[in-house]
Structure 1
């Protein structure tokens, strides 16, 4: 089990693993983190341990580096920066400590394996490959939205949990890393999942086998290495690895992969493939060293699928990838000094940057529980805790005999009043357990905190995007908002719950935190 990614090749100066004075099983670090098992050593010479947070009683991964001090500064700074980005496809970072003789980072423990280990046993099929790349692009877009770069996208840093969750770990960008290197490496993830090879020249050096190449060094397409790769996935992978082509932004790539992921079983995609991310006449990057210009190619796709895809990408590219900062502080002066400045919008002529969505500061009086009239309107207390900035506190439903609220009502939810109509880009909900079915709805007014008012809300509010059924993680994100529409009233509505306790009423769920982001 890999709990820290064996990232890009370690430099020749990477520290060796310390043996004398090394930690032992049972040792407690910082009077809080008990070391339980030495898992492995990563490519940079750091020890990786499974541990337990003895205060919160939860498993953690502890990454130790010898020595600490100045030599560990990059690791610690990267961990602090990553801790500010909350996203379901990013491993949560809990702590970063420097003790001079050693330094260590404490982060979320993921039960599962790295993509590197999984592909070593069996290549992924195209559908699973698309889903994994979608999660990676989502995570990268979330980091880029806050001005940060991951810098270490690699099969060893992509973890796939036993519950199917895909997360990215071990961010450690340096001055040579840019948003483009992250996007290019995401293309490398696609190539590796499909072929078992990593494109060294295009995506970064590695101990993994290099991509298959011809006598001239040109990379072989996945379809040339392995049968059964759809043309559209082959094209997308090769576009991302081609130095002659301009790369899409991470949020645009994530939107395209989301479309392919959700439409993986639609027959017309298998026939001709979707419209490419790039224009039909692909843009050749000038000055790519050692690469002759490629004659423009045209990609004739099905008109209906192509136009719909292009519109979806354009909309999602404006709004996708905004993540909640753990401390709610969006002050750009708090970002690392090497964080790249936000790029000017495409087509901008005056160098001005587009306004960045921010998390709305929600008060307790802006949220309330919605319980349809068939319910008894019990369990309405503590709802203010869903906007207190603390994932460890929240509101919880009562217990029920079955997942669908005992068949007494269609569900329960939390109404959010933004105070005035606003442009919304995302709503993120943190739950106490996975396995929830829920949806996000919107309406024009709040008819009142009463049984009749709740009934009117449930009957009249319209769904935003697609419902999430049996969601296998604890952080739900809703992003399907129209850019030219303003929203004031949002309803997070739960329709099914998991069994989270024993006894005659085991079905219940807690909503720990709700974060809404957008433009004022």
Structure 2
């Protein structure tokens, strides 16, 4: 076990030193003394009430065996005790234990007795181990720890540990719990790392709330973040935009600088341990605990964490992983032994961020030396101009529209307006092809009105002529008068109009609706109504048991251009089979601008139907009565479990390949 230059703890074989706070001197293991008259010292140290042993009896094997068996019986069972007493043969086999004391061993086994006493204690410890081991897989749903943490959903099981979502019944909140076996070689290290990490109050770390040992299990309680996505899922399809990559690198480097100043290190920074909240804030999972659990041998902890920051930034810029294929990312290419820069992999890479990534990975970049500590990365990011997000752009609903009176707020901004304002006059928009004389919604209303007036005038004129002819020939009987023939044709032709075949309703635009997340597949939305079923939109992959444990739902809003009578919807899903549920929601008829996309925005839409997937990929939704609306929301509330593919890892996911509306 060794400490890095920044004071961070180096983990070896599942053990870690607690550097964030001093160890109580009372917990130190006394140096081993040789001799025969040590029974009084051993009795004082372990509070063992044994019968008085004379010097002659001390040499007998029987008295030594009795003391050896009695010694491990009295151990500290307090919930604050961090380690059980070790058998004396382990102390003898590890001379370095005197320099690395256990955290709070209230009853260490005396080591000053004869070799016969040590052998007897060893045999007793083997027959009756002081720590009852319990497998992490034996824990069932509903188990309570500390009388307050009730296990609800098992999230993952990695062999060494099991992760659960639990409920803190005292504070009535959700928490996450990692569980390891108390008898494992890394249990002490995990406990020490969790206690040290709990002292770091930086909000960019997922906070450790509690840790203890109970019923042969060590558990670590951390805060629960249901609205966060890890970096691996964010990079499943595309690299991050430059301003997102800049914010990630700055947050992670700042946080690790704070941790190193506190004497801690992470040593296992990867895309699965970096989370992005819905607010855009980044958080780090598993400070010190991940390395204590899975192990990481290092001679320079600060340098290793710096290389990890460089790998994360490289992945955000190029969507490649520098150390081979991992975390759902392809392997980064190399020219000989040197790693290709992000700019050699992807076009339009931000130059200053590329320099920071390569130097953090340990490469010279344009005669600039590599970084060795997270503080070097922080200083380099502070020296470049802040990378700001781009100006707001027109959403898909306005950019893809081909009608004239589009007065959404984003469309008004794109046309040079200062904000949303009601339409006051008809403003024709230039189009690639010559428009009709009266285009747009207003033009259609005028044309329909004129057509109706002309039709009514023709009918009235015909009726007047027929009436005049009939009055002139009122004395002459007519076997088949024209009014009678027309009256017979009218009823027969009138009921045929509602029975007309449904007509396709064209989609004028669409945009992704994910108010409880950071987006799914923005580029794939347009492919859901392009007439090509081989392309489409897909969701991210979620690892929870149900989608609604993470968010109420997600989906796509389709713009029909103007209020239309909607009769049915046909959705071609990306994955067939059961497990997918979506709601067909419509905006009120009088809504003519883009609905709110913030949290709770789905409530602005009225649910008119709920559909469940079947054996195939196509789901048909037919309405009993037509609904007049302009905006239609396909709102997914349940997603099926699917295996990993070229876009994302295994988890809850689906998508839309093609959608068709009829009215």
What TM-score range do you get, normalising by the shorter chain?
Answer: 0.3 to 0.5
Give the TM-score normalised by the residue count of structure 2: 0.35
Q: Which has the bigger relative contact order, CA under 8 A and spacing at least 6?
A: 1
Greater percentage in strand:
1
Give the TM-score normalised by the residue count of structure 1: 0.44
